[in-house]
Amino acid sequence: MTLAFFTVIFSLALLVWSADRFVEGSASTARYFGMPPLLIGMVIVGFGTSAPEMVVSALAALQGNPGIALGNAYGSNITNIALILGVTALISPIAVHSQILRKELPILTVVTALAAWQLWDGKITRLDAIVLLTVFAGLMTWTLWQGLRKKKDALGREIEQELKVHAMPIRRAVFWLVVGLALLIVSSRLLVWGAVEIARGFGVSDLIIGLTIVAVGTSLPELASSVIAARKGEHDIALGNVLGSNLFNTLAVVGIAGAIHPMAVGPEIFSRDILVMAALTLSLFFIGYGFRGMGRINRIEGAALLACYVGYIVYLISTVFGQSA
């Protein structure tokens, strides 16, 4: 058990570090070959920040641990809204004024409803996975088309500036791309092993471990980037990072895991976790949409989101102790 705890802590740290190296190496390599900054931000950086969730869930599905695969995806969504937006708003209130965000939030709501509908029968089939991946591919294509139609915007300038700061020779970029990807896989395998061992040691389902330890760990890149963006005044990037990550988790992460290994899911995922995820998503309409002028997630609302996350975790822990009793 002690070895499993140390393995989880070590693998989480390695996972976050390797994801950062992978993003830097990939972005610098793409820039070397002339890819536009906006495209790099949407595709490479977007995929890179969600790479921990994707690799962990894929490996968990391969090893026959659907609880970790789904718990990681849906737990990360809950963590992104309640914990990450809550902490970010406490540090620096988030202004919501972008028209892009007004489009992304309704899309995320529809995608969340699709996830709930698919879980109604208690399983994720390969057909369900294909539907999720098809929707994801369609959204990515539409987003890239919209982005490339427009002139370079604030997001494109921000990404280009970051790429200039972190520019590196092509050999070093390729080295970190390969090493980062390899360490992502290794750390994910270690994390899944440690999480399964902890679940067995405490006699709880791997779903609970996926919703808590694994979900928080794989969401650390989003936490860091959202806090940094909010402190710089890039509120659209901070909120867009969370909404984009949730779209990626719901569609791509679950889709890839389901395509690898169809999964039977317990009723608690629908009656508890999906409902919490949906309620948090809908809450963003009321606390940040700005029906009467510019929207704003202030510190009080950030504290409320954080309290929701704490309450959710306490409820999960209480169910664990209730089952053991």
Q: pLDDT tens digits, the chain, 325 residues: what are they?
A: 788 888 888 888 887 788 777 777 776 777 777 666 555 555 666 666 677 788 888 888 888 888 888 888 999 999 999 999 999 888 888 877 656 566 778 899 999 999 999 988 888 999 999 999 999 999 888 877 776 665 445 445 555 555 454 567 878 888 888 888 788 778 877 887 888 788 778 777 888 888 888 888 878 777 777 777 777 776 666 777 788 889 989 999 999 999 998 888 888 888 899 999 999 999 888 886 655 556 778 889 999 999 999 999 999 888 776 655 5
**3-state DSSP percent of the chain in helix, strand and coil, to 5:** 85, 5, 15
The CATH number fitting domain 2-324, selected from 3.40.630.30, 1.20.1420.30, 3.40.50.1580, 3.30.365.10: 1.20.1420.30
Residue 203 amino acid letter: G
Residue 296 bridge partners (DSSP) = 95
Distance of CA 289 to the CA centre of its chain: 21
The pLDDT score that the predictor gives to residue 156 is: 52
Burial class of 63 by CB neighbour count within 10 A (0 to 12, 13 to 18, 19+): middle
Buried b or exposed e, range 217-232, using 16+ CB within 10 angstroms: bbbbbbbebbbebbee
Separation between Cα atoms, residue 8 and residue 17, nearest integer Å: 14
Domain locations in the chain as residue ranges = 2-324
- Cα–Cα distance, 269 to 157 (Å, whole number): 41
